[in-house]
Structure 1
Amino acid sequence: MATELHESIFMAKQERHKNLFLNYRNLNHFPIELLKDEGLQFLERLYMKRNSLTTLPDNLAQKLPNLIELYLHSNNIVIIPEAIGNLARLQSLDLSNNALQLLCPEIGRLRSLRHLRLSGNQLKSLPPEIGDLQDLETLDVSMNQLVSLPDRLHRCVSLQTLTADHNRLCHVPRQLCWLRRLNQLSMATNRLNFLPLDLGRSRELQFMFVDNNVDLKGLPSYLYNKVIGCSGCGLSSQVLDSGLGETLGEALGEALVGLPVEVKVVGSETDGVVPLEELALRTLHRLYHHRPTELNLLHPIALPKSLLDLLQFPLGHCHRCSQPMFTIIYPKLFPLRDTALAGVHRRTTVSFVAYCCSSHCLRTFDLNG
């Protein structure tokens, strides 16, 4: 086996191969032959699937500077060295089915990275620096132990597919609604109890899978015309009565639909007064997005960062008039059994929920309109 490995690496050096396959070689250590002398300066793709590696060398980028793809699926890698950030040309990194418990912040220095696969590890969190990967198109973090996703993930402006199945996620950051190129979001088998109000508002998002989130009782109605997987959702709630959802008091009194904790006030049909705090935030939002120069009138009084973040990422937008909402919403239920999806998702009690900015919008909103 050692002789065969040596010959494979020798031939790669002699013939200046761009691809090197070292899968199923029972390797416990990174082959030192790859790191001798000048290394393999011309190598672009290295495949080392199903070995027994536990770490990577610190001088990997120095000896293999032109790596575009590094495939390390199914090893025993526990830690990734900080020097991984020096692989400036790396576009695809597969660390699936390893033993990672931490991901170093230097991963954010891989500015050419387009595909990052981390499924089947023991990660409990992701570093915020992952949001620096602006060329990232695919991120797979399924089958880990994640309890949250980084808020800065919305900076991955090229992200098209995000897979986070089989984790311990209780919520989805509302900032993800600003990923304009996101086409598929899969978060099946987690602990979700609500989804961001704006999820699905982007036309690009076409596939949404949240199957087997038993506490998830409501889907934003922006997802109404998307491809949705929600079988097994809402199973921990009681089955909806035939008249339930006709009035907000009943729906919210039974707590059938989870709402974001940031929502301080939930409007009722008899409440025609919008709180002053909500009006102020809506006004600031208009200034911030449509007439930013007028914000200069607020100086030298500086707005706190928390307020600026809220203005940039409102909780949601009215499903009827697109008015941004911050502290008050008017939810309206459309039980799944009343939609075309009823025959598809038999193992679910989830409903679609429209979120409106006023009682007037609520009364005039029609999911089929």
Structure 2
Amino acid sequence: MATELHETIFMAKQERHKNLFLNYKNLNIFPVELLKDEGLQFLERLYMKRNSLTTLPDNLAQKLPNLIELYLHSNNLVLIPEAIGNLARLQSLDLSNNTLQLLCPEIGRLRSLRHLRLSNNQLKSLPPEIGDLQDLETLDVAMNQLTSLPDRLHRCLSLQNLTMDHNQLSHIPRQLCWLHRLNQLSMAANRLTFLPLDLGRSRELQFVFVDNNVDLRGLPSYLYNKVIGCSGCGVSSQVLEGDMGEVLSEALVGLPAEVKVIGSETDNVVPLEELAMRTLQSFYHHRPADLSLLPPITLPRSLMELLHFPLGHCHRCSQAMFTIIYPKLFPLRDTALAGVHRRTAVSFVAYCCSSRCLRTFDLQG
């Protein structure tokens, strides 16, 4: 095996191969032949799937500076060296099926990275620096031990496919709704109790999978015309028609903890804090070209963040909502999904900004 490996690498150097396949070579350590002298300066794709590697060399980027794709699927990697951030041209990195417990912040320096696969590891968190990957299109963190996602993930503006099945997520940041290129979002087998109010508002998002989140009993009505997987969600008993207040009080529909007030159909008074935030949001959204005309107001950090990332937008008129919502429940049996999943426990929920919008909202097929 050693002779065969040596010949393979020797031939790659002699013929200046751009692709090198070292899958299934029973490697325990990274081959020193790849790092000798000038290394393989011309190599673009390195495949090392299903070996027994535990570490990567610190001088990997120095010896293989032109790597575009690096496949390390199914090894025994516990730690990725900080020097991984020096692979300036890397576009695809597959670290699936290893034993990673920590991902170094230097991963955020891979500014050319488009595909990052980290499924089936032992990650309990992701570094905030992932949000620096502006060109990232695919992120797969399924089958880890994640309890939360970094808030800065919404900065990955090119993200199209986000997979985080089989983790321990109880919620996802509402900022993810600002990923306007996101096409597929998979969150099956987590501990989700609610979804962000704006989820599905982007036309690009077409596929949402939340199967086997047993405490998830309500889906934002923006998802109504999307391709949805929700088998195993909610309770098995049928949702009975009744007063909306009773339905909500029985927690048949999960609502975000940040929502301070749930409006009722007889309440026509908008709280002062909500009115102030809506006014500020409208002013900043249509701010004048001369920034000196902006009011001299300094908001606390928490309110400024809320101003930039509202809880949601009215499903009827698109008004931003900050502290108050008016939920309207639509049982699943009245939708097309009822015939697919034969379930009536999971419902769609429309979130409106006022009792007027609530009364006029109609979920169409």
Is the structural similarity TM-score above 0.5?
A: yes
Check conservation: 1:329, 1:356, Cα contact below 8 A: yes
Check conservation: 1:168, 1:190, Cα contact below 8 A: yes
Describe the SS at the equivalent of 2:111: coil
Check conservation: 1:248, 1:269, Cα contact below 8 A: no
Describe the SS at the equivalent of 1:333: strand
Q: 1:140 to 1:348 in 2, by over 3 A?
A: farther
Check conservation: 2:93, 2:115, Cα contact below 8 A: yes
CA distance in 1, matches of 2:117, 2:273: 43
CA distance in 1, matches of 2:61, 2:340: 50
Following superposition, the deviation at residue 199 of structure 1 comes to: 0.3
1:177 has 2:177 as partner: yes
The match for 2:17 is 17
Q: 1:160 to 1:213 in 2, by over 3 A?
A: same
Following superposition, the deviation at residue 287 of structure 1 comes to: 1.3
CA RMSD of aligned residues (A): 1.3
Following superposition, the deviation at residue 340 of structure 1 comes to: 1.0
Instruction: Output the amino acid matched with 1:225.
Output: N
Q: 1:295 to 1:206 in 2, by over 3 A?
A: farther
CA distance in 2, matches of 1:277, 1:161: 36
1:258 has 2:254 as partner: yes
Per-residue displacement from partner, 1:112-135 (whole Å, max 9, x unpaired)?
Answer: 000000000000000000000000
Give the 5 Å matches for 1:117-196: 117-196=117-196
Query: After the TM superposition, which segments of 4 or more aligned residues of structure 1 sit over 6 Å from their partners?
Result: none
Check conservation: 2:98, 2:120, Cα contact below 8 A: yes
The match for 1:225 is 225
Check conservation: 2:333, 2:344, Cα contact below 8 A: no
The match for 2:213 is 213
Check conservation: 1:233, 1:347, Cα contact below 8 A: no
Q: Which one of the candidate residues 351, 355, 359 is aligned to 1:355?
A: 351
CA distance in 1, matches of 2:291, 2:109: 36
1:341 has 2:340 as partner: no
Check conservation: 2:239, 2:344, Cα contact below 8 A: no
Check conservation: 1:55, 1:77, Cα contact below 8 A: yes
CA distance in 1, matches of 2:67, 2:112: 11
Instruction: Output the amino acid matched with 2:347.
Output: S
Check conservation: 2:238, 2:344, Cα contact below 8 A: no
CA distance in 2, matches of 1:143, 1:288: 41
Per-residue displacement from partner, 1:155-191 (whole Å, max 9, x unpaired)?
Answer: 0000000000000000011000000100000000000
Describe the SS at the equivalent of 2:341: coil
1:290 has 2:286 as partner: yes
Q: 1:42 to 1:232 in 2, by over 3 A?
A: same
Check conservation: 1:288, 1:311, Cα contact below 8 A: no
Per-residue displacement from partner, 1:241-274 (whole Å, max 9, x unpaired)?
Answer: 1x23xx3212212111010111000001111111
- Structure 2 residues not aligned, in runs of 5+: none
The match for 1:316 is 312
Following superposition, the deviation at residue 325 of structure 1 comes to: 0.2
The match for 2:57 is 57
Q: Which one of the candidate residues 267, 273, 292 is aligned to 2:263?
A: 267
CA distance in 1, matches of 2:70, 2:251: 48
Check conservation: 1:217, 1:258, Cα contact below 8 A: yes
TM-score, reference length from structure 2: 0.97
Per-residue displacement from partner, 1:266-298 (whole Å, max 9, x unpaired)?
Answer: 001111111000000000111111116568543
Give the 5 Å matches for 1:69-84: 69-84=69-84
Describe the SS at the equivalent of 1:344: helix
The match for 1:367 is 363
Following superposition, the deviation at residue 339 of structure 1 comes to: 0.7
TM-score, reference length from structure 1: 0.96
The range that moved more, 251-260 or 315-324, is: 251-260
Per-residue displacement from partner, 1:334-358 (whole Å, max 9, x unpaired)?
Answer: 0111111101113561100000000
Per-residue displacement from partner, 1:90-149 (whole Å, max 9, x unpaired)?
Answer: 000000000000000000000000000000000000000000000000000000000011
Describe the SS at the equivalent of 1:298: coil
- Structure 1 residues not aligned, in runs of 5+: none
Describe the SS at the equivalent of 1:306: helix
CA distance in 1, matches of 2:237, 2:279: 40
Describe the SS at the equivalent of 1:77: coil
CA distance in 2, matches of 1:158, 1:347: 35
The match for 1:239 is 238
Following superposition, the deviation at residue 302 of structure 1 comes to: 2.2
CA distance in 1, matches of 2:95, 2:62: 20
Following superposition, the deviation at residue 304 of structure 1 comes to: 2.5
1:249 has 2:248 as partner: no
1:330 has 2:326 as partner: yes
